[in-house]
Amino acid sequence: MASEVNEIAVQASENITENNEAITGRISSTSEGMVLAYGSLIIMAILPIFFGSYRAVRHHKEQQQQCKKSGEQPDTMSRKEAAIFPFISSITLVGLYVLYKIFAKEFVNQILAAYFFFLGILALCHLTSPLISSLVPAAIPKTQYHISFTKGEGDKSEHIINYKFNLHDIVCLICCSLVGTWYLLKKHWIANNLFGIAFAINGVELLHVNNVPTGCILLCGLLFYDAFWVFGTDVMVTVARSFEVPIKLVFPQDILEKGLTASNFAMLGLGDIVLPGIFIALLLRFDNSLSRKTNVYFYSTFFAYFMGLLATMLIMHLFNHAQPALLYLVPACLGTPVLLALAKGDLKALFSYEDHPVIPKQTEQTAQTQVETKKDT
C-alpha cells in the first residue's frame, strides 16, 4: 500500500512539472541549479558591500580634507530625509506600477533602458578606471584635458562644469560603452549584473548616513515599506518582474540545462544590497574612529547580513513566495552592532559617533565674528 502511494505521489509530481513546463515554456529548475543561483546572488550581494565599504572609508577621508580646505560640510542624509525616504520610495513605486498598467511594458522599458544606459556607463567607468588605466599600453600617453564652463566673472564666477580627464579615461569610457551597448541591444543578464554591481559598489561608497540613529530610522522605515508592498499588495512583485533595467541582480536557475541562454531567473533588488550596505559601511568608519586593531563592528554586522540574506533565500524557497528581504536583513544589521556595543560598553560611543559633526550655528557665527574682528584690528 505504501509503495503504491509513493508511486502515485511521484507520478503526480512529474505531471505537475510537465504542466508547469508546458504553461511557462521554461525548464523546471533542478535543486543544483537553484543552489547555484541563490549562492551566486548571495556572493554578488556581499562583495559590493565589502569593497564598497572600504572605498567609502577612502571617500570619507577625501571629504574631510575638502571640508578643512573649504569649510563646507559634505552632503549627508539627515534624520528628516531618512524618515521621509520610504514615502518617496512608495510614491515612485506606485508611479512605476501605474506606468506599466497604462503603457506597454516594452515602451516603458525602452525609455528607462536608455536612461540607465548612460548611468551604467558612468558607474562602470568610476569603478574600473584604475584597473583599465593600469592595463593601457605605455604607448598611449596620459595626456590631461580640462573642460570648464563657468557662470559670471571674477569673484562672482561659479563653476557649472569643471571636469578633468586624460586619454586613459577615454579608453575606459570606450570599454564601458561597449558593455552598455551589449546591454542596450541584448539585455543579457551578464551585462545587467555588471551594471548592477557597479551601481551597488558606487552606492555603498558614495551614499552616506552621518550617524547610527539616522541609519536606524532609514532601515526601520524601509523594513515596513518592503513588508507592506510585498505582502500587502502585488505592486512590488509586478514592478520587479516588469522592470527590465539594471537595478536588480539576476542569475538563471536553469543555467545547468540551458547555459548562458537560460531564462528562469532568481533576482535580488539593489535596494536590498545598497541600503543595508551604507549602514554597514558606516560601522566600518566607526571602527576606524575607535583606532582598534580589529574592525569588529563591521565584520560582525557583515556576517549578520550574510546570514539574513541566506535566511531570506531559504524562506523564499520553502514558501515559494517572494519575500521582503529587508524584513530579515534589518533586524540582523541593527541588532548585531547594538548587542555588541552593549557587551563591549561602546553603546554611547556608537550612538554619538558622527562622520561629519555638525557645527552649531551660534558657534559658527561666533567664530565668523571673531575672524571679522581680527581683520578689523
Highest mean pLDDT of the ranges 163-172, 194-203, 313-322: 194-203
Q: Does a structural domain hold residue 351?
A: yes
Q: Does a structural domain hold residue 24?
A: no
Question: Annotated active-site positions, please?
Answer: 226, 272
171 close to 39: Cβ distance less than 8 angstroms: no
- Reported as a single tens digit per residue, the pLDDT across 27-75 is 557 888 899 999 999 999 999 999 999 999 999 888 888 888 777 777 7
Strands 248-252 and 265-269: what pairing?
antiparallel
Mean pLDDT across 117-123: 94
Helix (H) or strand (E) holding 180: helix 167-186
Q: Which residue has the higher pLDDT, 136 or 214?
A: 214
Q: Does a structural domain hold residue 13?
A: no
193 close to 249: Cβ distance less than 8 angstroms: yes
Query: Does the pLDDT value for residue 368 go beyond 60?
Result: no
Q: How confident is the model at residue 139 (pLDDT cuts 50, 70, 90)?
A: confident
State the cell numbers at 33: 541549479
289 close to 353: Cβ distance less than 8 angstroms: yes
Query: Does the pLDDT value for residue 94 go beyond 60?
Result: yes
Strands (E), 212-294: 248-252, 265-269
Q: Does a structural domain hold residue 225?
A: yes
Domain of residue 231 covers 29-148+158-355
Q: How far apart are CA 11 and CA 22, in angstroms?
A: 16
> What is the pTM assigned to this prediction?
0.84
Q: Domain count of the chain?
A: 1
Chain mean pLDDT for the chain: 85
> How large is the C-alpha radius of gyration of the chain?
25
321 close to 236: Cβ distance less than 8 angstroms: no
- Reported as a single tens digit per residue, the pLDDT across 220-272 is 999 999 999 988 888 988 898 888 889 999 999 989 888 888 888 899 999 99
